[in-house]
Structure 1
């Protein structure tokens, strides 16, 4: 009788029933979760929802000059899903040695087709003045390393918004125009009615990269009188921080120069101005660079076969006149 009145026996029986109910309930919920998970995996496997992938396929520099560089970043995006996915935003950043050069956001850049791929082009412009004004150690003529960081933000059904980060490194130039100087004017044929001469022009490449000279167009003045303009095909490479020479044929009428021509003949030299452009190839693409020289001074020299002999003073007498 005492044992039947023991409350511990009654309480233990109730606890066992509760544990059993909890186990049954837990087992049911686990089964439901497993069922939902299995169904989800089967739906995902059947319908094909998944994360899109992306990669920087190429970087172009279609145009760069003394002021800016236009950069196009090609990003190949692949969509494994059975429905199109919108490309919501593109965030980009270009930095050099951890310092920001330019950044921006491109909103609503289109849609990636179902089970397809698209090349998304990201246009970026680097303004050289902005860079050199921000960082004193970056100067015209330099080649600087860069890192491009791109975040693609897409909206995928079931998965929601996703961010795909991308990076690419490389080098980009900050070009500097060549320094020019017309060292001498050499006679081919001389008369006061018509003179044929050759301008011996010196080009100094101020850049940390080679310049492949292809073409030169110019306009030339002597004593404020325009001799004319022309285009000249050239083919030579001016090494980085190096010097190249170009011979430019000209024809002019000396009698139009008055006393300035007599000064040139006597070896005193005369002022000249030259403006034009050169078309060059670089390791980063083609460029059209301006060439300008104002207020220069040159003198006439008799033609010699050896350019080094022209540099001697043997042609001049003690008064500086041509012999």
Structure 2
């Protein structure tokens, strides 16, 4: 016969037995304890879920406070790290200021402005100037606005002057706002938003404002009050034009130069360019003596009316170069259909005394 495998002996299953007296005693103790617990709590067995629910709410509150405290600590940690990086690397917010406003060109049609903005970059790397938004307004009325994209880069640890060219077209302003009259001075406010991109901080908008005044220039009125002969002959006559200039602007004009051409009886008698320095008060009148030489025989029969002292028709046009509080201007002068008188040198009348 083959070998029979050995089977390990089973561990005996022990059953603990109790007498009836022991079981009854244990039951009575359990019953007594259960009753005491109920009376002490002052509640029914149905109230046990409420106790559990309150305990759960308390646990949730404690967990929420723990989570909130944890997030606050994380935020403080991140902020502290950012400040340490900023201190170590040297990142900071750029600054800007309107350093100057230039008026390179001003005339009866338009006023060109150039706004200089000094931008300082304290960072160790160049920062891009993403956009420039600008607005010019006068007493709340928008004159012009616009956007300049990709305006350049500000070098590291340095400053750059950013120039913003602006152009005010007077016809556009007067057509939009009828109450703005030629010859007046209006207040303006320039608003500029510089948008830059800075590491650590991200995109930053730097708002700037600058106030000032701009003129709405008006051309002067010109008249030839009279013509005085210094030397008269049919071949050549030397005379002096007695000009009357009226400044209709709310600002003074400093006359620097004058160029002109004159027509008598429809015939040109010539013109000239000359340097002339004289102040023309705002809303005032000034007189200029301008020499001229012409040939009376070229005027035909009209010369006899001139000699007889009758009124002589004339026209005149030219330009005056003036200085103003807002810059240099070249203003046109023009007169058509005027009438003047011819006077001999030495003639006395009340009109000669100004």
Q: 1:19 to 1:258 in 2, by over 3 A?
A: closer
Of structures 1 and 2, the larger Rg is shown by 2
- Aligned residue runs from structure 1 range 108-257, under 5 A: 108-257=150-299
Report whether the alignment pairs 1:278 with 2:320: yes
CA displacement 1:168-195 (0-9 Å, x = unmatched): 1111000000000001000111111211
Report whether the alignment pairs 1:61 with 2:103: yes
Report whether the alignment pairs 1:73 with 2:115: yes
TM-score by length of 2: 0.80
In 2, distance between residues paired with 1:96 and 1:245? 35
Cα deviation, residue 267, structure 1: 1.2
Cα deviation, residue 229, structure 1: 2.2
TM-score by length of 1: 0.87
Aligned to 1:269: 311
In 2, distance between residues paired with 1:50 and 1:75? 19
Aligned to 1:36: 78
Aligned to 2:90: 48
Cα deviation, residue 102, structure 1: 0.9
Q: Whose helix proportion is higher, 1 or 2?
A: 2
Aligned to 1:301: 343
Q: Whose strand proportion is higher, 1 or 2?
A: 1
In 2, distance between residues paired with 1:290 and 1:138? 21
The alignment's C-alpha RMSD in Å is 2.7
In 1, distance between residues paired with 2:155 and 2:58? 59
CA displacement 1:127-176 (0-9 Å, x = unmatched): 00111111111111010111111111111122111111111111100000
Aligned to 1:316: none
In 1, distance between residues paired with 2:161 and 2:294? 56
Cα deviation, residue 260, structure 1: 0.8
Q: 1:71 to 1:228 in 2, by over 3 A?
A: same
Gaps of 5+ in 1: 313-323
In 1, distance between residues paired with 2:56 and 2:352? 118
